[in-house]
Structure 1
Amino acid sequence: MFLIRTLHKWVGLILGLQFILWSFSGAMMALLDSDKVSGATSVRESAAVVLPRPVLPLAQVTERIGQPITSLRLTPLGSVYVYQAATPSGVRLIDAVTGAPVTIDASRASGLASAAFNGADPVASVRRVTEGDVETRKLPLPLWRVEFADSESTTLLLSEATGEVLERRTDTWRLWDIFWMIHIMDYTKRENFNHPLIVTVGTGILWLALSGLILLIRAFRPSDFSYVLDPLARARAAIAARRP
Protein backbone atom coordinates (compact mmCIF):
# COMPACT_ATOMS: atom_id res chain seq x y z
CA MET A 1 0.00 0.00 0.00
CA PHE A 2 2.95 2.30 0.67
CA LEU A 3 4.15 1.76 -2.92
CA ILE A 4 0.70 2.57 -4.35
CA ARG A 5 0.45 5.68 -2.17
CA THR A 6 3.92 6.89 -3.26
CA LEU A 7 3.31 6.22 -6.95
CA HIS A 8 -0.11 7.84 -6.75
CA LYS A 9 1.42 11.00 -5.29
CA TRP A 10 4.16 11.42 -7.90
CA VAL A 11 2.15 10.25 -10.90
CA GLY A 12 -0.63 12.61 -9.78
CA LEU A 13 1.86 15.48 -9.68
CA ILE A 14 3.13 14.78 -13.20
CA LEU A 15 -0.33 14.24 -14.71
CA GLY A 16 -1.61 17.23 -12.77
CA LEU A 17 0.78 19.43 -14.73
CA GLN A 18 -0.61 17.98 -17.95
CA PHE A 19 -4.15 18.68 -16.72
CA ILE A 20 -3.13 22.32 -16.24
CA LEU A 21 -1.80 22.43 -19.82
CA TRP A 22 -5.01 20.85 -21.14
CA SER A 23 -7.17 23.31 -19.24
CA PHE A 24 -5.10 26.35 -20.26
CA SER A 25 -4.81 25.40 -23.94
CA GLY A 26 -8.50 24.50 -24.15
CA ALA A 27 -9.51 27.79 -22.57
CA MET A 28 -7.27 29.79 -24.92
CA MET A 29 -8.63 28.02 -28.02
CA ALA A 30 -12.15 28.85 -26.86
CA LEU A 31 -11.29 32.51 -26.16
CA LEU A 32 -9.61 33.27 -29.50
CA ASP A 33 -11.85 34.88 -32.14
CA SER A 34 -13.13 32.00 -34.28
CA ASP A 35 -13.47 34.22 -37.37
CA LYS A 36 -9.83 35.27 -37.12
CA VAL A 37 -8.77 31.70 -36.50
CA SER A 38 -10.56 30.39 -39.58
CA GLY A 39 -9.72 33.44 -41.68
CA ALA A 40 -13.36 33.56 -42.73
CA THR A 41 -13.27 37.33 -43.08
CA SER A 42 -9.98 37.29 -44.99
CA VAL A 43 -11.48 36.17 -48.28
CA ARG A 44 -14.24 37.95 -50.11
CA GLU A 45 -16.90 36.24 -52.18
CA SER A 46 -15.88 35.78 -55.79
CA ALA A 47 -17.27 38.40 -58.13
CA ALA A 48 -19.59 37.15 -60.83
CA VAL A 49 -17.78 36.50 -64.11
CA VAL A 50 -19.79 36.61 -67.32
CA LEU A 51 -19.46 33.41 -69.33
CA PRO A 52 -17.97 34.30 -72.74
CA ARG A 53 -19.66 33.31 -75.98
CA PRO A 54 -18.72 31.21 -77.75
CA VAL A 55 -16.53 28.91 -75.69
CA LEU A 56 -14.26 26.28 -77.17
CA PRO A 57 -16.22 23.19 -78.33
CA LEU A 58 -15.59 19.98 -76.44
CA ALA A 59 -14.01 18.32 -79.47
CA GLN A 60 -11.37 21.04 -79.60
CA VAL A 61 -10.90 20.86 -75.84
CA THR A 62 -10.01 17.19 -76.16
CA GLU A 63 -7.63 18.01 -79.00
CA ARG A 64 -5.91 20.79 -77.04
CA ILE A 65 -5.54 18.66 -73.91
CA GLY A 66 -4.00 15.82 -75.92
CA GLN A 67 -4.64 13.22 -73.22
CA PRO A 68 -7.56 11.10 -72.03
CA ILE A 69 -9.90 13.25 -69.93
CA THR A 70 -11.52 11.65 -66.89
CA SER A 71 -13.50 14.76 -65.90
CA LEU A 72 -13.98 18.26 -67.26
CA ARG A 73 -15.17 21.50 -65.64
CA LEU A 74 -15.85 24.92 -67.09
CA THR A 75 -14.99 27.25 -64.22
CA PRO A 76 -14.04 30.90 -63.64
CA LEU A 77 -10.41 31.67 -62.83
CA GLY A 78 -9.98 35.29 -61.88
CA SER A 79 -11.55 37.36 -64.67
CA VAL A 80 -11.65 34.56 -67.27
CA TYR A 81 -13.16 31.13 -67.73
CA VAL A 82 -11.04 28.02 -68.12
CA TYR A 83 -11.58 24.37 -68.82
CA GLN A 84 -10.24 22.31 -65.91
CA ALA A 85 -9.47 18.84 -67.23
CA ALA A 86 -8.45 15.93 -65.05
CA THR A 87 -6.05 13.63 -66.91
CA PRO A 88 -3.89 10.63 -65.92
CA SER A 89 -0.90 12.99 -65.58
CA GLY A 90 -2.76 15.56 -63.48
CA VAL A 91 -5.02 18.59 -63.87
CA ARG A 92 -4.64 20.67 -67.04
CA LEU A 93 -6.06 24.16 -67.56
CA ILE A 94 -6.80 25.81 -70.87
CA ASP A 95 -8.47 29.12 -71.72
CA ALA A 96 -12.16 28.48 -72.41
CA VAL A 97 -12.13 30.81 -75.44
CA THR A 98 -8.69 30.53 -77.03
CA GLY A 99 -7.69 27.08 -75.86
CA ALA A 100 -4.30 28.40 -74.77
CA PRO A 101 -2.67 26.52 -71.86
CA VAL A 102 -3.06 28.25 -68.50
CA THR A 103 -0.40 27.77 -65.82
CA ILE A 104 -0.53 29.02 -62.26
CA ASP A 105 2.84 30.71 -61.86
CA ALA A 106 3.95 33.16 -59.15
CA SER A 107 2.52 36.17 -60.94
CA ARG A 108 -0.88 34.59 -61.57
CA ALA A 109 -1.02 33.16 -58.03
CA SER A 110 -0.33 36.65 -56.65
CA GLY A 111 -3.08 38.13 -58.80
CA LEU A 112 -5.61 35.46 -57.84
CA ALA A 113 -4.78 35.87 -54.15
CA SER A 114 -5.09 39.66 -54.36
CA ALA A 115 -8.48 39.30 -56.03
CA ALA A 116 -9.65 36.94 -53.30
CA PHE A 117 -8.16 38.87 -50.37
CA ASN A 118 -10.67 40.94 -48.40
CA GLY A 119 -8.37 43.86 -47.69
CA ALA A 120 -6.35 46.66 -49.24
CA ASP A 121 -2.89 45.57 -48.04
CA PRO A 122 -0.33 44.59 -50.68
CA VAL A 123 1.26 41.19 -51.20
CA ALA A 124 4.32 40.79 -48.98
CA SER A 125 5.68 37.56 -50.42
CA VAL A 126 4.90 34.74 -52.84
CA ARG A 127 6.51 31.35 -52.34
CA ARG A 128 6.09 27.98 -54.01
CA VAL A 129 5.69 25.21 -51.43
CA THR A 130 6.80 21.71 -52.38
CA GLU A 131 7.18 20.14 -48.93
CA GLY A 132 4.48 19.97 -46.30
CA ASP A 133 4.69 21.95 -43.06
CA VAL A 134 2.43 22.87 -40.15
CA GLU A 135 0.56 25.42 -42.28
CA THR A 136 -0.07 23.22 -45.32
CA ARG A 137 -1.01 20.09 -43.32
CA LYS A 138 -2.44 17.57 -45.81
CA LEU A 139 -3.11 20.01 -48.64
CA PRO A 140 -2.14 18.78 -52.12
CA LEU A 141 1.35 19.90 -53.12
CA PRO A 142 2.86 21.81 -54.77
CA LEU A 143 0.98 24.99 -53.93
CA TRP A 144 1.53 28.75 -53.77
CA ARG A 145 1.84 30.55 -50.45
CA VAL A 146 0.84 34.21 -50.80
CA GLU A 147 1.30 36.36 -47.70
CA PHE A 148 -0.13 39.87 -47.28
CA ALA A 149 1.30 42.81 -45.34
CA ASP A 150 -1.68 43.21 -43.01
CA SER A 151 -1.68 43.13 -39.22
CA GLU A 152 -2.65 39.44 -39.19
CA SER A 153 0.00 38.38 -41.77
CA THR A 154 -2.86 36.78 -43.68
CA THR A 155 -1.65 33.99 -45.93
CA LEU A 156 -3.63 32.35 -48.72
CA LEU A 157 -2.62 28.91 -49.92
CA LEU A 158 -3.49 28.35 -53.58
CA SER A 159 -3.40 25.16 -55.60
CA GLU A 160 -0.73 25.23 -58.28
CA ALA A 161 -2.88 22.90 -60.37
CA THR A 162 -6.17 24.83 -60.32
CA GLY A 163 -5.47 28.24 -58.77
CA GLU A 164 -8.15 27.71 -56.13
CA VAL A 165 -7.73 29.06 -52.60
CA LEU A 166 -7.29 25.90 -50.55
CA GLU A 167 -6.79 27.38 -47.10
CA ARG A 168 -6.34 30.63 -45.13
CA ARG A 169 -3.84 31.24 -42.36
CA THR A 170 -3.55 34.18 -39.95
CA ASP A 171 -1.45 35.03 -36.90
CA THR A 172 -4.48 34.22 -34.75
CA TRP A 173 -4.67 30.80 -36.39
CA ARG A 174 -0.94 30.29 -35.80
CA LEU A 175 -1.40 31.09 -32.08
CA TRP A 176 -4.46 28.80 -31.94
CA ASP A 177 -2.42 26.06 -33.62
CA ILE A 178 0.20 26.22 -30.85
CA PHE A 179 -2.50 25.70 -28.22
CA TRP A 180 -3.97 22.90 -30.37
CA MET A 181 -0.52 21.24 -30.45
CA ILE A 182 -0.30 21.44 -26.64
CA HIS A 183 -3.85 20.16 -26.22
CA ILE A 184 -3.47 17.03 -28.37
CA MET A 185 0.21 16.55 -27.40
CA ASP A 186 1.28 16.11 -31.02
CA TYR A 187 4.39 18.27 -31.08
CA THR A 188 5.42 17.49 -34.66
CA LYS A 189 2.58 17.31 -37.18
CA ARG A 190 -0.10 18.78 -34.86
CA GLU A 191 -2.90 16.66 -36.31
CA ASN A 192 -2.97 13.28 -34.54
CA PHE A 193 -4.78 12.95 -31.21
CA ASN A 194 -4.44 9.15 -31.05
CA HIS A 195 -0.67 8.73 -30.76
CA PRO A 196 1.37 6.69 -28.21
CA LEU A 197 2.15 9.66 -25.95
CA ILE A 198 -1.47 10.64 -25.34
CA VAL A 199 -2.49 6.97 -25.03
CA THR A 200 0.19 6.55 -22.37
CA VAL A 201 -1.04 9.62 -20.50
CA GLY A 202 -4.62 8.38 -20.76
CA THR A 203 -3.57 5.00 -19.35
CA GLY A 204 -1.76 6.79 -16.53
CA ILE A 205 -4.90 8.77 -15.72
CA LEU A 206 -6.93 5.54 -15.59
CA TRP A 207 -4.38 4.02 -13.20
CA LEU A 208 -4.42 7.21 -11.13
CA ALA A 209 -8.21 7.00 -10.79
CA LEU A 210 -8.16 3.31 -9.82
CA SER A 211 -5.31 3.72 -7.33
CA GLY A 212 -7.05 6.76 -5.87
CA LEU A 213 -10.21 4.71 -5.41
CA ILE A 214 -8.24 1.98 -3.63
CA LEU A 215 -6.55 4.51 -1.37
CA LEU A 216 -9.88 6.18 -0.66
CA ILE A 217 -11.48 2.90 0.40
CA ARG A 218 -8.49 1.92 2.54
CA ALA A 219 -8.45 5.34 4.20
CA PHE A 220 -11.85 4.79 5.87
CA ARG A 221 -12.35 3.00 9.20
CA PRO A 222 -15.61 1.74 10.72
CA SER A 223 -15.37 4.54 13.30
CA ASP A 224 -15.66 7.06 10.47
CA PHE A 225 -19.25 5.91 9.99
CA SER A 226 -20.16 5.77 13.67
CA TYR A 227 -22.57 8.68 13.31
CA VAL A 228 -24.62 6.44 11.02
CA LEU A 229 -23.89 2.99 12.42
CA ASP A 230 -24.33 3.81 16.14
CA PRO A 231 -27.93 5.07 15.84
CA LEU A 232 -28.78 1.98 13.78
CA ALA A 233 -27.22 -0.29 16.38
CA ARG A 234 -29.13 1.45 19.18
CA ALA A 235 -32.35 1.17 17.22
CA ARG A 236 -31.83 -2.54 16.64
CA ALA A 237 -31.03 -3.02 20.36
CA ALA A 238 -34.20 -1.15 21.40
CA ILE A 239 -36.33 -3.29 19.10
CA ALA A 240 -34.74 -6.47 20.41
CA ALA A 241 -35.37 -5.36 24.06
CA ARG A 242 -39.10 -4.91 23.42
CA ARG A 243 -39.54 -8.40 22.13
CA PRO A 244 -40.91 -10.92 24.68
Structure 2
Amino acid sequence: MFLIRTLHKWFGLILGLQFLLWSVSGAMMALLDHHKVSGEPSVRAPVPAIAPAEPVTLARVAEAVGGPIHALKLRPLGEGYVYEAATPTGVKLIDAVSGQAVAVDEVKAAALAVAAFSGPEKVASIRKVETGDVETRSLPLPLWRVEFADKEQTTLLLSTTTGEVLERRNNTWRLWDIFWMIHIMDYTKRESFNHPLIITVGSGVTWLALSGVILLFRSFRRQDFAYVLDPIERIRDERKTKKQA
Protein backbone atom coordinates (compact mmCIF):
# COMPACT_ATOMS: atom_id res chain seq x y z
CA MET A 1 0.00 0.00 0.00
CA PHE A 2 2.92 2.33 0.71
CA LEU A 3 4.16 1.79 -2.84
CA ILE A 4 0.74 2.56 -4.34
CA ARG A 5 0.44 5.69 -2.21
CA THR A 6 3.92 6.91 -3.22
CA LEU A 7 3.37 6.22 -6.92
CA HIS A 8 -0.06 7.83 -6.77
CA LYS A 9 1.44 10.98 -5.28
CA TRP A 10 4.14 11.38 -7.93
CA PHE A 11 1.90 10.34 -10.81
CA GLY A 12 -0.63 12.87 -9.56
CA LEU A 13 1.98 15.61 -9.53
CA ILE A 14 3.31 14.89 -13.02
CA LEU A 15 -0.07 14.23 -14.62
CA GLY A 16 -1.54 17.19 -12.76
CA LEU A 17 0.82 19.46 -14.67
CA GLN A 18 -0.41 17.90 -17.92
CA PHE A 19 -4.02 18.38 -16.82
CA LEU A 20 -3.19 22.03 -16.27
CA LEU A 21 -1.72 22.28 -19.77
CA TRP A 22 -4.81 20.60 -21.22
CA SER A 23 -7.09 23.00 -19.38
CA VAL A 24 -5.17 26.15 -20.36
CA SER A 25 -4.70 25.12 -23.99
CA GLY A 26 -8.33 24.06 -24.34
CA ALA A 27 -9.54 27.32 -22.84
CA MET A 28 -7.31 29.40 -25.11
CA MET A 29 -8.46 27.56 -28.23
CA ALA A 30 -12.05 28.25 -27.21
CA LEU A 31 -11.37 31.93 -26.46
CA LEU A 32 -9.60 32.72 -29.72
CA ASP A 33 -11.99 33.99 -32.40
CA HIS A 34 -12.56 31.03 -34.72
CA HIS A 35 -13.37 33.40 -37.59
CA LYS A 36 -9.90 34.93 -37.32
CA VAL A 37 -8.32 31.50 -36.86
CA SER A 38 -9.80 30.31 -40.16
CA GLY A 39 -8.85 33.57 -41.90
CA GLU A 40 -12.42 34.52 -42.80
CA PRO A 41 -11.82 38.31 -42.49
CA SER A 42 -9.14 38.07 -45.18
CA VAL A 43 -11.42 36.40 -47.73
CA ARG A 44 -12.46 38.53 -50.68
CA ALA A 45 -15.48 37.40 -52.66
CA PRO A 46 -14.33 36.41 -56.14
CA VAL A 47 -15.15 38.82 -58.94
CA PRO A 48 -17.43 37.02 -61.40
CA ALA A 49 -15.37 36.16 -64.45
CA ILE A 50 -16.93 36.50 -67.88
CA ALA A 51 -17.25 33.12 -69.53
CA PRO A 52 -15.87 33.07 -73.08
CA ALA A 53 -18.54 33.27 -75.76
CA GLU A 54 -16.61 30.88 -77.99
CA PRO A 55 -14.22 28.71 -75.95
CA VAL A 56 -11.66 26.66 -77.81
CA THR A 57 -12.79 23.28 -79.03
CA LEU A 58 -12.17 20.12 -77.07
CA ALA A 59 -9.98 18.91 -79.89
CA ARG A 60 -7.78 21.97 -79.39
CA VAL A 61 -7.67 21.30 -75.67
CA ALA A 62 -6.64 17.68 -76.27
CA GLU A 63 -3.92 18.88 -78.63
CA ALA A 64 -2.62 21.35 -76.05
CA VAL A 65 -2.62 18.71 -73.32
CA GLY A 66 -0.77 16.27 -75.56
CA GLY A 67 -1.93 13.10 -73.82
CA PRO A 68 -4.88 11.18 -72.42
CA ILE A 69 -7.46 13.17 -70.45
CA HIS A 70 -9.26 11.46 -67.58
CA ALA A 71 -11.49 14.39 -66.64
CA LEU A 72 -12.07 17.89 -67.95
CA LYS A 73 -13.87 20.92 -66.55
CA LEU A 74 -14.23 24.57 -67.46
CA ARG A 75 -13.75 26.89 -64.50
CA PRO A 76 -12.80 30.48 -63.69
CA LEU A 77 -9.23 31.34 -62.82
CA GLY A 78 -8.46 34.96 -62.02
CA GLU A 79 -10.15 37.18 -64.58
CA GLY A 80 -10.63 34.47 -67.18
CA TYR A 81 -11.59 30.86 -67.69
CA VAL A 82 -9.46 27.78 -68.10
CA TYR A 83 -9.94 24.14 -68.88
CA GLU A 84 -8.67 21.97 -66.03
CA ALA A 85 -7.59 18.64 -67.46
CA ALA A 86 -6.76 15.66 -65.27
CA THR A 87 -4.09 13.57 -66.98
CA PRO A 88 -1.95 10.56 -65.96
CA THR A 89 0.91 12.97 -65.23
CA GLY A 90 -1.14 15.46 -63.24
CA VAL A 91 -3.46 18.43 -63.71
CA LYS A 92 -2.92 20.78 -66.64
CA LEU A 93 -4.56 24.14 -67.25
CA ILE A 94 -5.48 25.35 -70.74
CA ASP A 95 -6.65 28.88 -71.47
CA ALA A 96 -10.25 28.66 -72.62
CA VAL A 97 -9.77 31.44 -75.20
CA SER A 98 -6.26 31.03 -76.59
CA GLY A 99 -5.88 27.31 -76.08
CA GLN A 100 -2.42 27.85 -74.59
CA ALA A 101 -1.12 26.08 -71.51
CA VAL A 102 -1.40 28.16 -68.33
CA ALA A 103 1.42 27.90 -65.80
CA VAL A 104 0.85 28.95 -62.20
CA ASP A 105 4.22 30.63 -61.83
CA GLU A 106 5.31 33.18 -59.21
CA VAL A 107 3.71 36.12 -61.00
CA LYS A 108 0.45 34.26 -61.57
CA ALA A 109 0.36 33.04 -57.96
CA ALA A 110 0.89 36.57 -56.64
CA ALA A 111 -1.93 37.91 -58.82
CA LEU A 112 -4.30 35.16 -57.70
CA ALA A 113 -3.41 35.74 -54.05
CA VAL A 114 -4.03 39.51 -54.33
CA ALA A 115 -7.40 38.81 -55.93
CA ALA A 116 -8.33 36.49 -53.06
CA PHE A 117 -7.14 38.84 -50.26
CA SER A 118 -9.55 41.40 -48.82
CA GLY A 119 -6.97 43.79 -47.36
CA PRO A 120 -5.23 46.74 -49.05
CA GLU A 121 -1.74 45.58 -48.03
CA LYS A 122 0.74 44.45 -50.64
CA VAL A 123 2.53 41.14 -50.98
CA ALA A 124 5.45 41.01 -48.54
CA SER A 125 7.00 37.78 -49.81
CA ILE A 126 6.34 34.84 -52.07
CA ARG A 127 8.16 31.55 -52.24
CA LYS A 128 7.67 28.05 -53.49
CA VAL A 129 7.29 25.46 -50.74
CA GLU A 130 8.52 21.99 -51.61
CA THR A 131 9.07 20.59 -48.11
CA GLY A 132 6.18 20.26 -45.68
CA ASP A 133 6.08 22.21 -42.42
CA VAL A 134 3.56 23.04 -39.66
CA GLU A 135 1.78 25.54 -41.91
CA THR A 136 1.38 23.30 -44.93
CA ARG A 137 0.39 20.22 -42.89
CA SER A 138 -0.72 17.52 -45.36
CA LEU A 139 -1.41 19.86 -48.28
CA PRO A 140 -0.22 18.66 -51.69
CA LEU A 141 3.26 19.93 -52.47
CA PRO A 142 4.75 21.91 -54.03
CA LEU A 143 2.69 25.04 -53.42
CA TRP A 144 3.08 28.80 -53.41
CA ARG A 145 3.29 30.62 -50.07
CA VAL A 146 2.20 34.24 -50.47
CA GLU A 147 2.49 36.43 -47.36
CA PHE A 148 0.97 39.91 -47.08
CA ALA A 149 2.25 42.92 -45.15
CA ASP A 150 -0.76 43.24 -42.83
CA LYS A 151 -0.51 43.09 -39.03
CA GLU A 152 -1.84 39.51 -39.02
CA GLN A 153 0.84 38.44 -41.54
CA THR A 154 -1.86 36.75 -43.55
CA THR A 155 -0.47 33.97 -45.70
CA LEU A 156 -2.20 32.27 -48.60
CA LEU A 157 -1.14 28.80 -49.71
CA LEU A 158 -1.89 28.21 -53.38
CA SER A 159 -1.66 25.09 -55.49
CA THR A 160 1.10 25.24 -58.09
CA THR A 161 -1.02 23.16 -60.47
CA THR A 162 -4.55 24.58 -60.16
CA GLY A 163 -3.89 28.03 -58.68
CA GLU A 164 -6.56 27.47 -56.03
CA VAL A 165 -6.18 28.85 -52.50
CA LEU A 166 -5.74 25.73 -50.38
CA GLU A 167 -5.37 27.32 -46.93
CA ARG A 168 -5.08 30.66 -45.15
CA ARG A 169 -2.75 31.25 -42.24
CA ASN A 170 -2.29 34.24 -39.94
CA ASN A 171 -0.89 35.12 -36.52
CA THR A 172 -4.13 34.19 -34.77
CA TRP A 173 -4.01 30.76 -36.39
CA ARG A 174 -0.32 30.40 -35.48
CA LEU A 175 -1.12 31.16 -31.82
CA TRP A 176 -4.07 28.74 -31.91
CA ASP A 177 -1.80 26.12 -33.46
CA ILE A 178 0.62 26.34 -30.52
CA PHE A 179 -2.20 25.62 -28.08
CA TRP A 180 -3.44 22.85 -30.37
CA MET A 181 0.05 21.29 -30.29
CA ILE A 182 0.09 21.43 -26.47
CA HIS A 183 -3.44 20.02 -26.24
CA ILE A 184 -2.86 16.96 -28.43
CA MET A 185 0.78 16.57 -27.27
CA ASP A 186 2.01 16.21 -30.86
CA TYR A 187 5.08 18.43 -30.70
CA THR A 188 6.37 17.66 -34.20
CA LYS A 189 3.69 17.45 -36.89
CA ARG A 190 0.83 18.81 -34.74
CA GLU A 191 -1.66 16.55 -36.52
CA SER A 192 -2.37 13.39 -34.54
CA PHE A 193 -3.90 12.80 -31.12
CA ASN A 194 -3.25 9.06 -31.42
CA HIS A 195 0.48 8.68 -30.79
CA PRO A 196 2.66 6.88 -28.18
CA LEU A 197 3.11 9.92 -25.91
CA ILE A 198 -0.57 10.68 -25.40
CA ILE A 199 -1.39 6.95 -25.15
CA THR A 200 1.22 6.66 -22.38
CA VAL A 201 -0.21 9.67 -20.55
CA GLY A 202 -3.75 8.30 -20.99
CA SER A 203 -2.64 4.98 -19.50
CA GLY A 204 -1.06 6.86 -16.61
CA VAL A 205 -4.30 8.75 -15.99
CA THR A 206 -6.21 5.44 -15.94
CA TRP A 207 -3.78 3.99 -13.40
CA LEU A 208 -4.02 7.18 -11.33
CA ALA A 209 -7.81 6.87 -11.22
CA LEU A 210 -7.71 3.17 -10.24
CA SER A 211 -5.08 3.68 -7.55
CA GLY A 212 -7.13 6.62 -6.26
CA VAL A 213 -10.15 4.34 -5.85
CA ILE A 214 -8.04 1.82 -3.94
CA LEU A 215 -6.63 4.52 -1.68
CA LEU A 216 -10.09 5.97 -1.19
CA PHE A 217 -11.31 2.85 0.60
CA ARG A 218 -8.07 2.38 2.52
CA SER A 219 -7.58 5.96 3.63
CA PHE A 220 -10.95 6.77 5.22
CA ARG A 221 -12.41 5.49 8.49
CA ARG A 222 -15.87 5.75 9.96
CA GLN A 223 -14.86 8.61 12.25
CA ASP A 224 -14.02 10.70 9.19
CA PHE A 225 -17.74 10.77 8.38
CA ALA A 226 -19.03 10.82 11.96
CA TYR A 227 -20.60 14.25 11.56
CA VAL A 228 -22.88 12.73 8.91
CA LEU A 229 -23.36 9.17 10.16
CA ASP A 230 -23.92 9.92 13.87
CA PRO A 231 -27.09 12.00 13.36
CA ILE A 232 -28.46 9.35 11.01
CA GLU A 233 -27.83 6.57 13.51
CA ARG A 234 -29.31 8.69 16.33
CA ILE A 235 -32.53 9.18 14.35
CA ARG A 236 -32.63 5.47 13.55
CA ASP A 237 -32.20 4.54 17.23
CA GLU A 238 -34.95 6.97 18.27
CA ARG A 239 -37.35 5.39 15.76
CA LYS A 240 -36.55 1.90 17.07
CA THR A 241 -37.15 3.07 20.63
CA LYS A 242 -40.54 4.54 19.72
CA LYS A 243 -41.59 1.32 17.96
CA GLN A 244 -40.59 -0.78 20.96
CA ALA A 245 -42.50 1.53 23.28
Fold match by TM threshold 0.5: yes
1:104 to partner: Cα distance: 0.5
In 2, distance between residues paired with 1:59 and 1:8? 75
Kindly indicate whether residue 84 of structure 2 is the aligned counterpart of residue 72 of structure 1.
Answer: no
What is the letter of the counterpart of residue 74 of structure 1? L
The reply to whether residue 58 of structure 1 matches residue 61 of structure 2 is no
Residue matched to 1:121: 121
Give the superposition deviation at 1:80.
1.1
Q: How does 1:82-93 map to 2 (within 5 A)?
A: 82-93=82-93
1:8 aligns with 2:8: yes
Distance 2:152 2:166 in 1: 18
Match of 2:216 in 1: 216
- The residue type equivalent to 1:59 in the other structure is A
Query: Which residue is 2:163 aligned to?
Result: 163
1:216 maps to a residue whose letter is: L
Q: What pairs with 1:42-57 in structure 2 (closer than 5 Å)?
A: 42-57=42-57
CA distance in 1, matches of 2:210, 2:155: 48
Cα–Cα, structure 1 residues 233 and 31, in superposed 2: closer, same or farther, change >3 Å? Answer: closer
Aligned to 2:174: 174
Offset, 1:222: 3.3
Gaps of 5+ in 1: none
Q: Deviations for 1:37-64, whole angstroms, at most 9, x for unmatched residues?
A: 1001112111101101100111221122
Query: 1:227 corresponds to which residue?
Result: 230
Q: Give 1:197's aligned amino acid.
A: L
Cα distance, 1:234 vs structure 2 = 3.1
Percent identity over the alignment is 64
The Cα of 1:221 is off from its aligned counterpart by: 2.0
Q: How many residues align?
A: 242
Q: Distance in 1 between matches of 2:92 and 2:231?
A: 82
Partner of 1:152: 152
Quote the Cα distance in structure 1 between the aligned partners of 2:232 and 2:211: 27
Q: How far apart in 2 are the matches of 1:114 and 1:191?
A: 29
Query: What are the superposed Cα offsets for residues 119-154 of structure 1, whole Å, 9 maximum, x if unpaired?
Result: 110000010001110000011111000000000000
Report what 1:27 is aligned to. 27
Aligned to 1:81: 81
- Letter of the structure 2 residue corresponding to residue 72 of structure 1: L
- Displacement of 1:214: 1.0
The answer on 1:102 being equivalent to 2:102 is: yes
Q: CA RMSD in A?
A: 1.6
In structure 2, stretches of 5+ residues that fail to align are: none
Which secondary structure state, in structure 1, belongs to the residue aligned with residue 30 of structure 2?
helix
Question: In 2, distance between residues paired with 1:229 and 1:177?
Answer: 54
Shift of 1:34: 1.3
5 Å-filtered alignment, 1:229-244, equals 230-231=233-234, 234=237, 238=241, 242=244
Rounded Cα–Cα distance in structure 2 between residues aligned with 1:41 and 1:173: 12
Matched with 1:193 is 193
- Which residue is equivalent to 2:38? 38
Q: Deviations over 1:158-178 (max 9, x none)?
A: 000000000000011001000
User: Secondary structure of the equivalent of 2:94?
Assistant: strand
Question: 1:31: how far off?
Answer: 1.1
Instruction: Report the residue type matching 1:218 in the other structure.
Output: R
Residue identity opposite 1:83 in structure 2: Y
